Amino acid sequence: MRSLDPATRQALEARLRFYRELGLTEFYRRPASTSDVAVAEGASASASAETIVDEPQAQSSIEENPSIPPRKPMLSPPPVSEAIEQDHAAALRLIREDIGDCTRCALHKGRNKLVFGDGDPKARLLFVGEGPGADEDAQGLPFVGRGGQLLNNMIGAMGLKREQVYIANVVKCRPPQNRTPEPDEANTCSPFLFRQIDAIRPEVIVALGATAATYLLGQRQPLAGLRGRVHSFRGAKLIVTYHPAFLLRDPRQKKEAWADLQIAMRELGLKMPAKS
Ligand code: SF4
């Protein structure tokens, strides 16, 4: 076990937190050489300092896709204790505190309320949309407008209540005129969503629409090519379907969306609700 002087230890911990912001959370070990870390004679060591020499194993493909600009580094979150990681609600509260009164991207300029997310912190099922609209911006809650009512109906059709799932968005502040978030806005905000996913640890994620699918899967593809199969993301099964706002514009696609939700139900082991 090595001893690190406090300054080296602090610098390397900051590096680890930076990797985490980029979505790199899996590490492999390799022996440390003296050129990797400065060893301070007589300095006290802690057990966790050994992990500082580990290197990240790239897992995010967003950076590999030239059509999606890489995420910008953000202010690093404080280290998360094991106890908090076990407590889903406490982990979510910590993420909310880290976001604070966020000005990390231009979307903060037009927002009334930041929309963090809503639902059961231990939900087995997570829905991810694009970003808040006018109603959500006014109330600070995701999917509360007409699209939200349709999403509630979709959740009900699965035999679940809204309180049993968790709902979040790629960006937490409303884009002007409900436009699609710009890549730099989505890439700046989405690491918070990824941390929410890590805190909730859902079994199934349903990406609502192309923007959610793009930033979760790290690839820009027509929705048709992504629907109808099970992807994986951060330990969860990921299913892609239409955004409720699109279904309001084109209700004929509701049947297709229901087929997607049935895939989610199958993955969750849910039975089709009895017809009343
Ligand atoms: Fe911050 Fe996200 Fe809002 Fe941008 S959209 S200001 S990154 S919370």
Q: How far is the CA of 27 from the centre of ligand 1 (A)?
A: 28
Ligand 1 pocket test target in 98, 105, 170, 178 with most atoms within 8 Å of CB: 105
- Check whether residue 164 and residue 249 sit in a common domain: yes
Predicted confidence (pLDDT) per residue in 84-109, tens digit = 667 999 999 999 999 999 999 999 99
pLDDT in tens, 163-177: 999 999 999 999 999
Of all helices (H) and strands (E), which one includes residue 255?
Answer: helix 254-268
Q: Which of 99, 136, 182, 211 to mutate to test the pocket of ligand 1 (most atoms within 8 A of CB)?
A: 99
In a domain, 75, yes or no: no
Q: Do 129 and 10 fall within a single domain?
A: no
Other Cβ atoms less than 10 A from the Cβ of 2: the count is 15
- For 52-66, 90-104, 184-198, 246-260, which range has the lowest pLDDT when averaged over its residues? 52-66
DSSP letter at 37 equals S
Mutation probe of ligand 1 site: the residue of 171, 192, 195 with most atoms within 8 A of C-beta: 171
Q: Is residue 66 part of a domain?
A: no
Q: Over the stretch 131-190, which tens digit does the pLDDT of each residue have?
A: 999 999 999 999 999 999 999 999 999 999 999 999 999 999 999 999 999 999 999 999
Q: Are residues 134 and 229 in the same domain?
A: yes
Whole-angstrom distance, CA of residue 18 vs CA of residue 67 = 23
Q: Which atom of ligand 1 is nearest to the CA of 99?
A: 8
Q: Would 67 be classed as within a structural domain? A: no
Query: What is the rounded (10 degree) CA torsion for 117, 183, 236, 167?
Result: 20
- Residues 51 and 175 reside in one and the same domain: no
H-helix or E-strand spanning residue 200: helix 183-200
pLDDT: which is higher, 18 or 87: 87
Across the chain, mean pLDDT equals 81
Residues above pLDDT 90, as percent of the chain: 65
Residues 91 and 12 in one domain: no
The total number of structural domains that make up the chain? 2
Tokens at 75, concatenated: 């202010």
132 and 233 assigned to the same domain: yes
Query: Which ligand 1 atom sits closest to the C-alpha of 105?
Result: 4
Q: Name the pLDDT band for 36 (thresholds 50, 70, 90).
A: very low
Q: Strand 125-129 vs strand 166-169: parallel, antiparallel, or unpaired?
A: parallel
Residue among 160, 176, 146 at smallest CA distance from 248: 146
More confident residue, 81 or 230: 230
Residue 199, pLDDT score: 97
Residue with tokens 């089709």: 272
Looking at the predicted structure, is the pLDDT value of residue 262 above 60?
A: yes
Residues 125 and 225 occupy one common structural domain: yes
Rounded to 5 degrees, φ, ψ at 109 are: -65, -35
Q: What is the pLDDT of residue 86?
A: 78
If asked whether residues 107 and 198 sit together in one domain, one would say: yes
Q: pLDDT band at 206, cuts 50/70/90?
A: very high
Q: Are 191 and 22 in contact (CB under 8 A)?
A: yes
What are the start-end ranges of the E strands in 136-196? 166-169
Residue 9 pLDDT class (50, 70, 90 cuts): low
The residue length of the chain stands at 276
Task: Please report whether residue 77 resides in a domain.
Answer: no
Compute the distance from residue 195 Cα to the ligand 1 centre, in Å.
Answer: 14
31, 150: one domain: no
Q: Are residues 43 and 88 in the same domain?
A: no
Q: How confident is the model at residue 76, as a pLDDT?
A: 57
Are 125 and 208 in contact by the 8 Å Cβ rule? The answer is no
Same domain, yes or no: 129 and 173: yes
Same domain (yes/no): 145, 21: no
Atom of ligand 1 minimally distant from the CA of 74:
7
How far is the centre of ligand 1, averaged over its atoms, from the C-alpha of 191 (Å)? 10
Residue whose CA is closest, atom 3 of ligand 1?
A: 173
User: pLDDT-based confidence at 68, cuts 50/70/90?
Assistant: low
Q: What is the pLDDT of residue 55?
A: 31
What lines the ligand 1 site, CB under 6 Å? 99, 102-105, 107-108, 114, 171-173, 185, 188-189
Does 16 score more than 70 pLDDT? no
Measure 219 CA to ligand 1 centroid, in angstroms.
Answer: 21
How far is 80 from 42, CA to CA, in rounded Å?
Answer: 28
For the CA of 181, the closest atom of ligand 1 is: 5
Q: Which domain holds residue 195?
A: 82-268
Enter the tokens of residue 91: 């982990």
The amino acid at residue 256 is E
